[in-house]
Amino acid sequence: MLSVLGNQRTFCDGISRRSLLKIGGLAMGGISLPTLLRAEAQSARPQRQKSVIMIFLSGGPPHQDMVDLKMDAPVEIRGEFRPIATRVPGIQICEHLPRLAAMMDRLAIIRSLVGSEGRHAAFQCHTGWPVMPQPAGGWPAFGAVVSKLQGTASPGTPPYVSLSPRMKGSGWSDPGKPGFLGSAYGPFTPNVDGDGTLQVGSVSTDQLADRRALARQLDRMKRAADATGAIAGLDAYQEQAFGILTSGKLAAALDLSREDPKLRDRYGRGSPEPAGYGDAGPLMNDYFLVARRLVEAGVRVVSLAYGRWDWHGRPHGTTFDNARDHFPSLDQGLTALIEDLTARGMIDDVSIVVWGEFGRTPRINPRGGRDHWPNVGCAMLAGGGMRTGQVIGATDRLGDHATERPVHFQDVLATLYQRLGIDINRVTVNDLSGRPRYLVDHALYQPLHEVI
């Protein structure tokens, strides 16, 4: 692993000492230099770059308390919250999401998300496939596929970044692995240590200027990579790698000290600490802003884990205590992101998806919580030139199952691929045996015609 450690000074290019850059985990899911560099020649494409920001609500959000309130259900199902009107007549969402309600014309809500396996697996959202069975090497994450197919959009920036920290729960700490595509297409993971800064390493910023030291690091990295057989062709890109490491472009994108503090306040800032009893994503609205900066710098896919939504009830707070905590933060951060992208003229080029691995049980359990409910869940879409201001699908009176337009995880991913210009009916990637694999099961799942 090659990392760059900030020192006590400010760089000449203005990067603060807290802006630490890691080119991480080359053999373990980090982005490889060949990947970073391969598509530089393509970066002069005339069309506007399309990107995706995937916000993973780790643990599974309660669909019926969030965007599909069931006021006609019995009290043991209904929950504590009331619906409020939104900007779109006829659509109501939770009272604790007032900013999103005011922005409903810029959202599409899916109330009928199906296909969950019911397990805590970010994998569900990253790939759309079941955890078992998988082809040898495993299914690649959406971001890894995009990395493979489209490469780098802008010199000095990787195509795929995950801002998720490492968590104890391996199911939801999955940053979106490259699977059978190989580690060359894994995400750049600047937050893998989860301390809120981008971190560590064996190469200090002082050493960045020392090309010989960098060369030694790269040699060591290459040997380690060769030993695993994970990376080929590093030599060809070694010189360019110096440029990536020293250009500062990626580090600059990760450096929020360059942002207007008022904009950070609008996003809501947040805390890098786990949002739920020692194991969860952080409720870190700063990462929404980092995501915008990354796509602005040329990253194609940014994923992040946000909060802990696995609300089984006391003693870790009732579903409603936790929802009163998380909903306003999501409300603030997501609306800020949409506003910001709109203000910068980027909203039609950046698709946003917000979802978790499943919904929650209709019946409130004796501890004031709701448990896992793979029958149905919810998702929100925004940007990307999608048709918004609508609800897709419906559930029954109890929020138990989809009654209209069931939407599979793979339907959503197919939509996101389509937004990036990738035709899921034609494009394949080869698995380890050389067999072409479609990106989704296109015989069953297609881009959502409602939004494209």
Partner 1 sequence: MLQLIHTLTHPNAVYAVAFSPDGKQLATASLDNTLKLWDASTGSELARLRGHTDGVCGVAFSVDGKRLFSASLDQSIKFWELPAGAAAATITGPGRYIECFATSADGRLLATGSHDTQVRIHDTETGSLKMALKGHADVIFAVALSADGKWAASGGNDGALKLWELATGKSRTLTGNDGVPQSLAFRQDGQTLISGGGTGRIEWWSVATAERFLTAEGHRGVVKSLAISADDSVVASGGADGTVRLWDARTGAPRGEVAGHKNSVYGVAFSADGQRLASASFDRSIKVWDIKGE
Q: Which is nearer to partner 1, 280 or 407 (CB)?
A: 280
Q: Which is nearer to partner 1, 138 or 276 (CB)?
A: 276
Judged by CB under 8 A, the residue of 366, 426, 434, 443 near partner 1 is 366
Provide the pairing of β-strand 377-383 with 83-85. Answer: unpaired
Provide the pairing of β-strand 436-438 with 428-430. Answer: antiparallel
* Binding of partner 1 by 95 (CB under 8 A): no
* Binding of partner 1 by 193 (CB under 8 A): no
* Contact between 347 and 339 (Cβ < 8 Å): no
Helices 286-297 and 319-343: crossing angle, nearest 10°?
30
Judged by CB under 8 A, the residue of 28, 80, 134, 263 near partner 1 is 80
Judged by CB under 8 A, the residue of 193, 259, 273, 339 near partner 1 is 273
* Binding of partner 1 by 314 (CB under 8 A): yes
- Of 93, 125, 95, 124, the C-alpha closest to 109 is 93
Element (H, E) at 336: helix 319-343
User: Smallest distance from the beta carbon of 273 to partner 1, in angstroms?
Assistant: 4
DSSP string covering 35-68: HHHHGGGGGG-SSPP-EEEEEE-TT---HHHHTS
Q: Which is nearer to partner 1, 166 or 449 (CB)?
A: 166
DSSP string covering 185-233: BSPB-TTTT-SSS----SEEHHHHT-HHHHHHHHHHHHHHHHHHT----
* Binding of partner 1 by 46 (CB under 8 A): no
Which residues touch 124 (CB under 8 Å, ≥6 apart)?
A: 115, 116, 117, 131, 357, 358, 409
Angle at 161 between CA 281 and CA 234, to 5 degrees: 135
* Binding of partner 1 by 264 (CB under 8 A): no
* Binding of partner 1 by 430 (CB under 8 A): no
Identify which range of 26-34, 150-158, 321-329, 374-382 contacts partner 1 by CB under 8 A. Answer: 321-329
Which residues touch 67 (CB under 8 Å, ≥6 apart)?
A: 93, 94, 97, 109, 111, 378, 380
* Binding of partner 1 by 321 (CB under 8 A): yes
Judged by CB under 8 A, the residue of 276, 356, 399, 447 near partner 1 is 276
The residue count for binding partner 1 (CB under 8 A) is 21
Identify which range of 207-215, 320-328, 345-353, 410-418 contacts partner 1 by CB under 8 A. Answer: 320-328
Identify which range of 214-222, 231-239, 266-274, 376-384 contacts partner 1 by CB under 8 A. Answer: 266-274
* Binding of partner 1 by 367 (CB under 8 A): yes
User: Smallest distance from the beta carbon of 326 to partner 1, in angstroms?
Assistant: 11
* Binding of partner 1 by 328 (CB under 8 A): yes
* Binding of partner 1 by 99 (CB under 8 A): no
User: Is the backbone of residue 447 left (phi > 0), alpha (psi -120 to 50) or beta?
Assistant: beta
User: Smallest distance from the beta carbon of 333 to partner 1, in angstroms?
Assistant: 16
Chain contacts with partner 1 (rule: CB under 8 A): 80, 271, 273-278, 314-318, 320-322, 324-325, 328, 366-367
